[in-house]
Structure 1
């Protein structure tokens, strides 16, 4: 996390709340959960910001509950067909699913780290092919960028992408347009 200190994407990815189940009683800290209780009791569950969860989990005061964006339902859907999952709708803050996953990964034990790492890596690898393919397809539609029903499908596709994937989509689309322009210009007869 320290290497991402000045990264806006890292800040946005950490702008999430995570449920924690406390393993000990903590007196005079009930205000953390925003409730009216004075104390945090053992086995109580609170939604806390990521920056606070680091300290609480690493101090063994609470156990982190896996966020729904990485729960079994999402993991199973990603294993079955990664391209069908709209990652942007799983987390807030601009759809930084991979960034949030990296944040969660840092708080997991070794066994959980490996599983989360595999999930993030495999999802990215499998979706990258589709992202590049779609970027090239929509770039080939010309300067209109796919206005009309095709443009609607391009917009719909982009809206389901994680912020990292959207950035790669834009880069691939621009690269494809430049390649096409270069090819057309080099095809002209020289005088």
Structure 2
């Protein structure tokens, strides 16, 4: 994640925890991951933030399990219908599912890393058309963020809530773009409407 050093999304992703299974005894480090023992013993499992797990895994002191947001259950659901999965529910603390996936992908070996990359790209492509489509649809209903309580504003809000942070940014950009295009078209036609 060197190229993402100043990225808030990358910082949040690196604070996510992965379960590490230690291969050897590590003295005086039992406090890691909230443990109460004095030492970490072989086969001991701990939830460690990714920024620390890098060092532990690359030093070959532990292995890590693929986190739940990328488990076989989630992968199967994404293969079946990527648009039906609420990515925002899979990763907490405002972290983006794609950014977290990229972080995990960087820690994996070649074969698993390629598989993770393909899953991320396929999911993104499978959901992108729907994100843009919905953004344009809701933009046709009125300006972004305008209006009152329920009704029209709650529909785009509910749709956005299921999106990953990256998808949410694209949704807002596409919605604003469509709304500005509509406004420009109406203004450039001089306010006159054609009657057929």
TM range (shorter): over 0.9
| Cα 1:146/1:135, change in 2 over 3 Å | farther
Report how far residue 31 of structure 1 moved.
Answer: 1.0
Aligned length: 190
Summarize deviations over 1:130-161 as a string: whole Å, max 9, x none.
00000000000013469633322211110111
What is the TM-score normalised by the length of structure 2?
0.92
In 1: Cα distance, 2:18 partner to 2:67 partner: 6
**Aligned counterpart in structure 2 of residue 158 of structure 1, from 160, 165, 172:** 160
What is the TM-score normalised by the length of structure 1?
0.94
1:135 aligns with 2:135: yes
Summarize deviations over 1:57-107 as a string: whole Å, max 9, x none.
111111111100000111111111111111111111214111100110110
After TM superposition, the runs of 4+ consecutive aligned structure 1 residues lying more than 3 A away are 143-150
**Aligned counterpart in structure 2 of residue 183 of structure 1, from 171, 177, 185:** 185
Could you say what the CA RMSD is over the residues aligned between the two structures, in angstroms?
A: 1.6
SS at match of 1:106: helix
* 8 Å Cα contact 2:12/2:95 also seen in 1: no
In 2: Cα distance, 1:189 partner to 1:126 partner: 38
| Cα 1:189/1:159, change in 2 over 3 Å | closer
In 2: Cα distance, 1:161 partner to 1:95 partner: 12
* 8 Å Cα contact 1:138/1:145 also seen in 2: no
